[in-house]
Amino acid sequence: MWALTVACVLVALWLGCREVDSRQAEEAGNRTSIPAARQRMIEEHLRSRGIRDPRILEAMASVPREEFVLPSDRANAYADHPLGIGEGQTISQPYIVAYMTQLAEPESTDRALEVGTGSGYQAAVLSLLVDTVYTVEIIPTLTQRATRTLQRLGYGNVVAATRDGYQGWREHAPFDVIIVTAAPDRVPAPLVDQLAPGGHMVIPVGSFWQELVVITKRSDGSVVTERVADVRFVPMTGEAERLSR
């Protein structure tokens, strides 16, 4: 009986060690696969589809996207499709993040506004390309989570707040770059007002059918609007939602 008990204990210990070893191997595999997945994102999803700005490619290669998704989605962080981040919101696919950033033509001295902080990923990418990023999010829990992630990862030139994005952030305007990651039915007038002369705003517009629009403000205050792609974003809520009724 004593020998049987010892044998059972040894088997239990062996199975426990195998479970630990398996978990450690899986974690090590994930650490190894993430750099490969990130490089594959750069080559297959970005460079091959027209993202050519070297600064943007470098920023996309530098930001650890796996830190901005839910733990259950870390293995899929670099797949080229949106992922849920809770509260009915998503993190955009890598190509769309890079494409919108390229359309905005960010410069190192720029002041940027992001409308729709979400996970904080777009703000992190922008932060490597401009002087300061101001980012607003209407859902407090997302603002708090994104702020913790950005601070933990050292993106110190990002300022986040819980605000209605339709109204922008007038206290810090004008902005050389505005990137909007939720779709209103129409372009919000306050955002156009807060765009600096020579600046670019990239925004999805529409309800069911949406278009990605680039708005450039001329030195005389007039604007040029260019429609560049069909897209699908979560709708902008708050004031934008009220005005659409």
Which residues are designated catalytic? 92
Answer yes or no: are the C-beta atoms of 118 and 86 closer than 8 Å.
no
CA 49 from centroid of its chain's CA atoms: 19
The CA-based angle 132-121-50, given to 5 degrees, is: 95
Q: Quickly tell me which residue has 């777009």 as its tokens.
A: 122
How remote is the C-alpha of 241 from its chain's centroid? 22
HSE-up (13 A, CA, CB side) for residue 28: 6
Q: How many CB atoms lie within 10 A of CB 53?
A: 16
Tell me how far apart the 2 most distant CA atoms of the chain are, in Å. Answer: 93
Q: Cβ(130)–Cβ(142) under 8 Å? A: no
For every residue of 186-236, DSSP letters joined together read: S--HHHHHTEEEEEEEEEEEESSSEEEEEEEE-TTS-EEEEEEEEE--PBP
What is the C-alpha separation between 197 and 25, in angstroms, rounded?
Answer: 54
**Number of neighbours of residue 242 by Cβ within 10 angstroms:** 10
Amino acid at 9: V
